[in-house]
Amino acid sequence: MANLLPKMDRIATAFESARKNKRACFISYVCGGDPDYQTSVEICRLLVENGVDIMEIGVPFSDPLADGLTNQLAAERALNNGMNHEKLLQMVKEVRTFTQKPIVLYTYFNLVYAQGISSYLKDIRAAGVDGLLTLDLPPEEAGELIAASRQTGIKNIFIVAPTTPPERVELIAAVASGFIYYVSREGVTGERSSIASGLENALKEIRKRTTLPVAVGFGISTDSQVRAVAALADGVIVGSALVNCVGENPNDRKIIFKKLTEKLKTLTSGLA
């Protein structure tokens, strides 16, 4: 499997580059295939051209329990337009023709298990994926996935929540790779009007237990929120605010691209 191992750690390189530029990494989330395959590829191109350091691509799923309505509808649009595992792999390969920026798949374990864990990881690695965030797979039950990921060079990103006890943070830190995803508040994904309190202390506690970068997501949707999180975290993750740019006008590419460009310009201004 040596040929599957990446020549470089694109995720680590992205965080190091941002650090050298004295800013946080900007991580975007969009749903693969939303609103359709070709528009989704062009959305990824637009993200690359407008300040995104790492791309999270959601794998459309019919039962996305951790997602709020915005991302549920995005998955529904993608599935209705024929998105599937094979097309997602093809999409990643197409994105890889114009960028070497890191790609992380945001998925659910059923979708991995259905393909066979080892086969799935080989396939996504060969397509050009760097990391995997399997939302509903706790680290206590992820041994097979973690072992296969290490063999293929895929980074396993795990989530820490405000309610995660210290001993469980220790466990997550021991098996995670790539970066730690800190959920800034309880609940499902979606835009919020404010950043949760206690973020600074939470990040300090996580950093006592890991040297991995810590990125913060869930609910970040304005430049002021990006600025507040970027002052404390190694990475800022924005999803629903971008997905809404697609969902508001799913049948008009020009409007989608215009709104996304404007939104990204506003959000990335918070990194400065």
H helix and E strand count, the chain: 12, 9
Evaluate whether 261 touches 45 at the Cβ level (below 8 Å): no
67 a catalytic residue: yes
Contact 206, 228 (CB under 8 A): no
Neighbours of 226 (CB within 10 A): 25
Please tell me what DSSP assigns to residue 3.
G
Residues 6 or more apart in contact with residue 258 via CB below 8 angstroms:
none
Q: Which residues of 232-246 are buried (b: 16+ CB within 10 A; e: fewer)?
A: bbbbbbbbbbbbbbb
Marked catalytic residue, from 34, 56, 223, 234: 56
SS3 assignment, position 33: coil
56 catalytically annotated: yes
Q: Sheet containing 103-107: give its strands across.
A: 155-156, 131-134, 103-107, 54-58, 25-31, 235-238, 214-217, 180-183, 158-160
Q: Per the residue annotation, which of 67, 123, 223, 234 is the catalytic one?
A: 67
Active-site positions?
Answer: 56, 67
